[in-house]
Chains A and B, each alone.
Chain A
Amino acid sequence: MGQIEWAMWANEQALASGLILITGGIVATAGRFTQWYFGAYSIVAGVFVCLLEYPRGKRKKGSTMERWNYYVRAVLHLLLSVPAGFLLATILGTACLAIASGIYLLAAVRGEQWTPIEPKPRERPQIGGTIKQPPSNPPPRPPAEARKKPSEEEAAVAAGGPPGGPQVNPIPVTDEVV
């Protein structure tokens, strides 16, 4: 089980727990069960957990946040789940959230890191990016060796020479037609 990222499962589990807390809380509040105010708490806690967990992380690639993020989540979920445990309607949410907290703890201990899903940076089509410049070294070209050395020297010495300017033949070419 080398590459399991427990945090992914903890994320799903916590999200499900949030929904269960909300449902249990609504039932308890609507039915005015004894100690129904725990139900009201449960709805609020459930909504908070859902909002926290909804941005699902993606697999470990790209930018990262610190590891203690998972410890924080584990402790937070555990604390949130405790008050809901006092009411039967919400105790299921407590159990599920506690399990999610446990899985987050496991993820934290194993050193995983949280990566939010980043929207893929849309590659703006570069205007004129596909236009390729025409070759700047048209034939007739002197042999490769002659081409290489002078260009290095040119760059060092003739700092003022325009790069795209008129072709300067490194070897003087004489017109043999007289």
Chain B
Amino acid sequence: MGNWVVNHWFSVLFLVVWLGLNVFLFVDAFLKYEKADKYYYTRKILGSTLACARASALCLNFNSTLILLPVCRNLLSFLRGTCSFCSRTLRKQLDHNLTFHKLVAYMICLHTAIHIIAHLFNFDCYSRSRQATDGSLASILSSLSHDEKKGGSWLNPIQSRNTTVEYVTFTSIAGLTGVIMTIALILMVTSATEFIRRSYFEVFWYTHHLFIFYILGLGIHGIGGIVRGQTEESMNESHPRKCAESFEMWDDRDSHCRRPKFEGHPPESWKWILAPVILYICERILRFYRSQQKVVITKVVMHPSKVLELQMNKRGFSMEVGQYIFVNCPSISLLEWHPFTLTSAPEEDFFSIHIRAAGDWTENLIRAFEQQYSPIPRIEVDGPFGTASEDVFQYEVAVLVGAGIGVTPFASILKSIWYKFQCADHNLKTKKIYFYWICRETGAFSWFNNLLTSLEQEMEELGKVGFLNYRLFLTGWDSNIVGHAALNFDKATDIVTGLKQKTSFGRPMWDNEFSTIATSHPKSVVGVFLCGPRTLAKSLRKCCHRYSSLDPRKVQFYFNKENF
């Protein structure tokens, strides 16, 4: 428990502040509309649901402001870069931007529900009081007409006895935009469920652009001024506390009280969403501008198990270790952008990505590059964007775990280490790296065979064999492979990979690994980096908690997970 708090205190604080602001805004607006004299007469018709609707509206404004910010990738990268002096915990928060986006979306859905239900009651109350013929205060207030000549100071938006609430909903700006916004919101949410997103990304991506209707609708939702309060002038003249009881006598010439006059609330949503919308527009323009710059493909390599390596060049492109880029191929799909981790090191004069066939787009891309006689398709690149792997060199001891294609960010790191050693860079904080690569089939190893072989040689030459400790695990083994391995047990190199380090079969036993590392480095801060499936993340996280000592001076494990 103690370790969980140490790792997550900033997230918890952030969420508490956000929830607290939501609650504060809700209660504040609720009390304002429930107690203020300005809305005394409005409350006479509507009751507490007026305050409910307005409170949820304020929370909706607040959350709509927040929803666009976590998805401005370039802004977040910029913050991450400028905050290099900030603590590790603060920068880790930026990794969780999508989680925050989803939380804010859920809050928007909740408040939308409250807002709609409250307004349904409001409309019903308005309708009833318009129909009422009992001469009550409510019915007299409702009879204040829309006629401009008499001051235009109406209260009830339902003007005549025959008007239905449905008619008002679809003919008023507030009602119509409300319906459009809600339908857009529902479509966005249903197409964004985990299942749809992972299986049919395009449906999610295109439907999510309905947010444009949501934002536009939000901006003009309040223009009609349907929420009415008494005017200042009217309150000075005939204050509701004094005049409400004597409502039958408002029309008498000698009464002190006149008919109250009402005015609408000016729209305020646009003030909330203006800044984020401008930021987001800038973000999209920046993405477009970066994507238009020419990308030159210098080398194309087809690896076994359907993995394509592309080495490219782009003017002004500079990257850090473990960053990712978004790639678009107009000849395959005009609007789709897919993320890929960079597998090259910053020291190289090109940048590369490894693409595995995992769906429509990737399969089409690989097929397009396989054609030997047609010209190479054009590629557009946006990025690079930073994620957790940049932090690897901040830790004294780093544990890198990659499952299958998840090894790509670590390939970049290992290559970078190789170059740093070549240049004898002694500023490296990192003293030891443990690298675990878990793979299902042997063909997958060939991608980085060269890299690992040269690293092995490099370590031997420099006499620093202890720096990089790597282990490869083959999980999709059968008795044939094991048989071969057993037969070749005495050989110096591994029969699967040709490396000096022998391949292990099956999955790593994390408890053993972690306890070994903890005993070898009793006073260090160890960073654990994973790029792989969620189940593995769970077991690693558990081990991190279990083997971190409670004493902050002794060994501490920090867990970082990549996710796309």
**A99-145 residues at the B interface, CB under 8 angstroms:** 99
A16:B186 contact, CB within 8 angstroms: yes
B183:A96 contact, CB within 8 angstroms: yes
Chain A neighbourhood of B196, CB < 8 A: 8-9, 12
A92:B179 contact, CB within 8 angstroms: yes
* 24 A-B pairs (CB sep. < 8 Å): A1-B203, A3-B200, A4-B200, A6-B203, A8-B195, A9-B190, A9-B203, A12-B195, A16-B186, A23-B113, A27-B121, A28-B120, A31-B121, A31-B124, A33-B120, A34-B128, A56-B195, A88-B123, A88-B166, A88-B169, A91-B169, A92-B116, A92-B186, A95-B179
* 17 further interface pairs, Cβ-Cβ under 8 Å (given A27-B120, A92-B183): A1-B202, A3-B359, A4-B200, A6-B203, A8-B199, A9-B200, A12-B196, A23-B113, A23-B117, A27-B121, A28-B120, A88-B165, A88-B166, A91-B169, A92-B116, A92-B182, A99-B187
Q: Does A2 belong to the interface (CB within 8 Å)?
A: yes
A4:B202 contact, CB within 8 angstroms: yes
A4:B116 contact, CB within 8 angstroms: no
B124:A33 contact, CB within 8 angstroms: yes
Complex Cα–Cα for A33 and B125 (A): 9
Closest partner residue, chain B, to A32 (CB atom): B124
Closest partner residue, chain A, to B166 (CB atom): A88
A89:B190 contact, CB within 8 angstroms: no
Complex Cα–Cα for A8 and B194 (A): 12
- Report the interface size for chain B: residues with CB under 8 A from the other chain: 29
**B183-230 residues at the A interface, CB under 8 angstroms:** 183, 186-187, 189-191, 193, 195-196, 199-200, 202-203
Chain A neighbourhood of B121, CB < 8 A: 27, 31
Q: How far is the CB of A38 from chain B (nearest CB, A)?
A: 11
Chain B neighbourhood of A2, CB < 8 A: 360
Q: How far is the CB of B195 from chain A (nearest CB, A)?
A: 7
- Given the interface pairs A88-B169, A92-B179, A95-B179, the reply to whether A12 lies near B120 with Cβ below 8 Å is no
**B159-191 residues at the A interface, CB under 8 angstroms:** 165-166, 169, 179, 182-183, 186-187, 189-191
Chain A neighbourhood of B124, CB < 8 A: 31, 33-34
Chain B neighbourhood of A8, CB < 8 A: 195-196, 199-200
B200:A12 contact, CB within 8 angstroms: no
Q: How far is the CB of A39 from chain B (nearest CB, A)?
A: 10
Chain A neighbourhood of B360, CB < 8 A: 1-3
Chain B neighbourhood of A24, CB < 8 A: 120
Which residues of A line the B interface, CB within 8 A? 1-6, 8-9, 12-13, 15-16, 20, 23-24, 27-28, 31, 33-34, 56, 59, 88-89, 91-92, 95-96, 99
Chain A neighbourhood of B193, CB < 8 A: 12
Q: Does B127 belong to the interface (CB within 8 Å)?
A: yes
B190:A12 contact, CB within 8 angstroms: yes
Complex Cα–Cα for A59 and B121 (A): 42
Closest partner residue, chain A, to B363 (CB atom): A2
Chain B neighbourhood of A33, CB < 8 A: 120, 124
A89:B195 contact, CB within 8 angstroms: no
Complex Cα–Cα for A145 and B188 (A): 71
B186:A20 contact, CB within 8 angstroms: yes
B191:A9 contact, CB within 8 angstroms: yes
Chain B neighbourhood of A88, CB < 8 A: 120, 123, 165-166, 169
Q: Which 8 A-B pairs have the closest CB atoms?
A: A12-B190, A13-B190, A33-B124, A88-B165, A4-B200, A89-B120, A16-B190, A2-B360
Q: How far is the CB of A2 from chain B (nearest CB, A)?
A: 5
The digit string for B117-151, where 1 denotes a CB below 8 A from any CB of A, is: 10011011001100000000000000000000000
B183:A91 contact, CB within 8 angstroms: no
Closest partner residue, chain B, to A3 (CB atom): B360
B123:A4 contact, CB within 8 angstroms: no
Q: How far is the CB of A102 from chain B (nearest CB, A)?
A: 11
- Given the interface pairs A23-B113, A88-B169, A95-B179, the reply to whether A5 lies near B200 with Cβ below 8 Å is yes
Complex Cα–Cα for A49 and B182 (A): 20
Closest partner residue, chain B, to A16 (CB atom): B190
Complex Cα–Cα for A91 and B117 (A): 12
Complex Cα–Cα for A72 and B183 (A): 24
Complex Cα–Cα for A31 and B193 (A): 32
Complex Cα–Cα for A24 and B190 (A): 18
Closest partner residue, chain A, to B169 (CB atom): A88
Complex Cα–Cα for A12 and B204 (A): 12
Chain B neighbourhood of A89, CB < 8 A: 120
Chain A neighbourhood of B182, CB < 8 A: 92
- Given the interface pairs A27-B117, A88-B120, A88-B123, the reply to whether A59 lies near B199 with Cβ below 8 Å is yes
Chain B neighbourhood of A99, CB < 8 A: 183, 187
Closest partner residue, chain A, to B200 (CB atom): A4
Chain B neighbourhood of A56, CB < 8 A: 195
Chain B neighbourhood of A15, CB < 8 A: 190
Closest partner residue, chain B, to A15 (CB atom): B190
**B346-371 residues at the A interface, CB under 8 angstroms:** 359-360
Chain B neighbourhood of A34, CB < 8 A: 124, 127-128
Chain B neighbourhood of A4, CB < 8 A: 200, 202-203
